[in-house]
Amino acid sequence: MLQWKFVWLKFVSKADPESLPTRVRLNLPPWIESMVRSRLAIIDSKPDLVEQGLLQFATALNYLAPLDLRVNLVRANRDAVLDALARSGVEAKPTLYAPLGIRIVSTLSVRMIPAFRKGWFEIQDEGSQLLCELVASQCGEMVVDFCARTGSKTLALRSMMHSSGKLYAFDISDERLGHIKHKLERSGLLNVRLVSIDSEHDAKIKRLVGKIDRVLVHIPCSGLGVLRSNPDFKWRQKQQSIGKLAVHQLSILTAASKLLKPGGRLVYATCS
């Protein structure tokens, strides 16, 4: 039985994709397909163009998202990192928009090379880097990364501040905060206050109301905006949960906005 399954899969892999049923080619849950189709219909009402756009969208999700790095200016500059990557056999190029970004072209692991262990760069998507550019944290300011998660944005914001002022990183996971601490030690960045909270209503947050210059809220989301990196999300997420998630997102945004002093800046972002 196992042999027959293997032979069948091998045969399908060689088939012309256009010969497969549309449902198979899309590989999307019906509710996501319907949602995307309705959005495309707003742009162009012609059925054939909507169908073409839907197939293009679904096909794009099958390609792995690129791997981007952010140069840590405390340790190196972009040219030095590109040179170190080349000497380690990693093909890379500067990102198109992020000024400190590098896009990996090869498939070699960058975590194994000496420059990574020395803290010369961090793994961070170009889009995430651009969020930090929008925050534009300055030396001497009080800044909050409201949903710190893996800490990539925390480190980028701290680098902009040259370890001056105060940066608070909030997260509900002690384990994630521990990973951020390890990254900070490798990067050479100092004085980040890692704050464990139970929710957006935690009393530790309320003590900072009206005192913060800049707040980044990269809000928890459904994961549907990162399907190229996590393709299983589309099958694990349910349409009914999207509305509940939006309510939670608004609650977090409301709590974060109260931290700002007059004239402060809030950058809100979500992948979906």
Q: In the chain, what is the straight-line distance between the N-terminal and C-terminal CA atoms, in Å?
A: 41
Q: What is the DSSP letter of 119?
A: T
Q: What does the alpha-carbon distance between residue 205 and residue 202 come to, in Å, rounded to a whole number?
A: 6
Q: What beta strand segments (E) does the chain contain?
A: 67-71, 92-94, 101-104, 121-123, 142-145, 166-171, 192-196, 212-218, 260-269
According to DSSP, the residues that pair with 169 across neighbouring strands are 145, 194
> Which among 132, 139, 147, 271 is annotated as catalytic?
271
Identity of residue 119: G
What is the Cβ-side half-sphere exposure of residue 98, based on CA atoms within 13 angstroms?
24
- What 3-state class would DSSP assign to 90? coil
Is 271 an annotated catalytic residue?
yes
Q: What is the DSSP string of 160-224?
A: HTTT-SEEEEEES-HHHHHHHHHHHHHHT---EEEEE-SSTT-HHHHTTTT-EEEEEEE----SG
- To the nearest 10 degrees (0 to 180), the angle between helices 30-43 and 47-60 is 130
Closest CA to 193 of 243, 142, 234: 142
Active site residues: 271
